[in-house]
Structure 1
Amino acid sequence: MFISLITDCQDGNARVRQQTRYSVLFPGVPSNFVGVTSDIEAAGNLIDILDAAGDEEGIIAVNVAPRHGRAQKWVNGTPFGYLWINKILIVCTIDGEVLSLLKKMKLADQVNVTDIRTVLTFGGYETSLVEHAATSQFRSFDYLPRLARIVWEKKDIPSEKLAFADIPDVALDVWCIDSFGNCKTTLLPEDLGFVEGEEREIVFTDLAIKATCYKQLRSVPNYQTGLIIGSSGYKEKRFLELVVQGTSAAKHYSITQKDTFKIVK
């Protein structure tokens, strides 16, 4: 069994508190941690962790819960939900694009949305703790691990179903820039009619980039721009990456994580 945490609460203090709580609630189960800065970065990491886990059982906890901007429509940040994919339990925030790549990959069709007070009361927690968790600014610590424990034990808990039809479709984004400056996109090969050796044009804001399709990074000529079938994805479905052989595509084109683009041809 494994536990993997994907969260924007990623400073050292937040990290050790979250991992300690999971270790208390799931004794002997190792936890892995990745800090993210956006919902789409969380979505991409969720897909990669599902792929890495294979057929094993485990828990993936995903938290991207800003309180500013569009998130102010919620009383205290986005609600949390859960769903199962085979033997893997996903507990997560539901706002934004956190679940949009699951939708794109057709790995699930609904999520169970929970209410903090209802679930913790159902789980047998005392009233003072329930109220603290419901009003906490650190719900990924005060609620999410406990939600995971309750669902893991009970399998099904009080919740309301939210169809993935109501989850936003994923935008054309760069969801991750790796240590080499390769830009992982939300594109699958079929999204742009990927044919090795053919040229495609994508546009970031006002910057048009022409890139040749290659199945592997090693096939891209030195200092040339390519669209390759990357390592990230789920099973046979792999995301395309924008690369420049021998240097950083992100620096070369001034691309940042979560930049959006459009396909011209």
Structure 2
Amino acid sequence: MTQRPVVALTDCADANAQARQAARIAALFGSTPSILPLTGEDPDAAAALTLLDLLRATELTGGPTHPLVLLVNIAPRDGHWPNGSPFCWFEYRGHLVVSSWNERVLSPLAAHLGITQVHITDVREVVEAAAADWAEFTPEQVEEIVRTQFRSLWYVPLLARWLVDGRPVPARPQTLTAPATVQTENPRIAVIDNFGNCKLDVPADALPGYAQGGAITVHSRHDGRPVQVRCYDRLPDVPRGEPGFTTGSSGVGFAELVVRGGSAAELFALRQGDRLLASV
């Protein structure tokens, strides 16, 4: 059995759920997974940026890398699907990604990594095909997997294992397109890191007014007043104790609102998911 490192992003993130997922993935892959809980106000935005960052983190190695398995469970809870959105998979430079079909999470990959197609699976079709060919499941066990509410536990690790093993998993191609418009006029805070830096969901050079020495207006949630924040090339260029926009380490040169030596999130009372330049 091929062993591959597994990293999972999930909004099913309480201790019980994490423990069960870790045990099942370890049993199937023979290695302890890294499970990253996404529990903020906007898990879709955090997952989109984090998945992009995970795939980018496998680059610039100067040599070959070990193929990873990345599992993403951030399903839209819009009631559109009878038992949650389907799961899809794709490969990127030898790494396997199995994800909820969530266009907000996946579309940045089309925009910034050129991933234009994924493979959509149907849980029942896949598990029944497995039971008929390579997996030892009774009809009752097939039904249990198909009907479960915790599909990221019972189905997703199986799907990933079967794909790694080269099983003929049934799926249909689905085009993945970049967003028609990027919200450069009103970017969203995707992640707030432990320093209070606010990572945006757009490249810095796409922001109107971003240029070294330019300025962008931020509306503070404390009192609603507009604040002119200067733009800098890097964090070390920002004067200590002052806010600034810089080109951060995430995405492909995505923008960050920072305070050198302080917290931009605290200074402006910002939260994950906030539209940074929206009036309050």
Q: TM-score, length-normalised on structure 2? A: 0.83
Give per-residue Cα distances to partners, 1:19-52, cap 9 Å, x unaligned: 111111111x341121113111111111121122
Query: Greater CA deviation, 79-88 or 201-210?
Result: 201-210
Cα distance in 2 between the residues matched to 1:147 and 1:181? 37
Alignment pair present for 1:176 and 2:186: no
Q: What is the CA-CA distance between 1:204 and the residue it aligns to?
A: 7.7
Indicate the structure (1 or 2) with the bigger Cα radius of gyration: 2
Residue pairs, 1:52-131, within 5 angstroms: 52-54=57-59, 55-65=65-75, 67=77, 70=78, 72-124=79-131, 125=135, 126=137, 127-131=139-143
Cα distance in 2 between the residues matched to 1:217 and 1:160? 45
Letter in 1 for 2:216: R
Alignment pair present for 1:22 and 2:16: no
CA RMSD of aligned residues (A): 2.4
Q: What is the CA-CA distance between 1:63 and the residue it aligns to?
A: 0.3
Q: Report if the CA contact (8 A) 2:198-2:257 is conserved.
A: yes
Q: Report if the CA contact (8 A) 2:107-2:177 is conserved.
A: no
Letter in 2 for 1:238: G
Which residue of structure 2 aligns with residue 36 of structure 1? Answer: 38
Cα distance in 2 between the residues matched to 1:202 and 1:105? 26
Change (3 A) 1:184 1:73: same
Q: What is the CA-CA distance between 1:240 and the residue it aligns to?
A: 1.0
Q: TM-score, length-normalised on structure 1? A: 0.88
Alignment pair present for 1:49 and 2:59: no
Which residue of structure 1 aligns with residue 244 of structure 2? Answer: 226
Which residue of structure 1 aligns with residue 160 of structure 2? Answer: 148
Query: Greater CA deviation, 36-45 or 159-168?
Result: 159-168
Give per-residue Cα distances to partners, 1:217-258, cap 9 Å, x unaligned: 11111222211111222xxx2211101222211111111111
Determine helix, strand or coil for the equivalent of 1:186. strand
Cα distance in 1 between the residues matched to 2:226 and 2:130? 54
Q: What is the CA-CA distance between 1:212 and the residue it aligns to?
A: 1.6
Give per-residue Cα distances to partners, 1:158-192, cap 9 Å, x unaligned: 11222113878665321110111100111112312
Q: Report if the CA contact (8 A) 1:202-1:261 is conserved.
A: yes
Which residue of structure 2 aligns with residue 197 of structure 1? Answer: 213
Q: What is the CA-CA distance between 1:138 and the residue it aligns to?
A: 0.7
Change (3 A) 1:135 1:168: farther
Listed as ranges, the gaps of 5+ residues in structure 2 are: 60-64
Cα distance in 2 between the residues matched to 1:167 and 1:77? 23
Cα distance in 2 between the residues matched to 1:170 and 1:22? 36
Letter in 1 for 2:67: E
Listed as ranges, the gaps of 5+ residues in structure 1 are: none
Which residue of structure 1 aligns with residue 62 of structure 2? Answer: none
Give per-residue Cα distances to partners, 1:115-159, cap 9 Å, x unaligned: 001112222342222211221111110111011011111276311
Cα distance in 2 between the residues matched to 1:140 and 1:216? 39
Change (3 A) 1:204 1:185: farther
Cα distance in 2 between the residues matched to 1:204 and 1:105? 30
Cα distance in 2 between the residues matched to 1:153 and 1:133? 20
Cα distance in 2 between the residues matched to 1:162 and 1:8? 24
2:271 corresponds, among 250, 256, 261, to 256
Q: Report if the CA contact (8 A) 2:108-2:179 is conserved.
A: no
Tell me which protein shows more strand as a share of its residues. 1
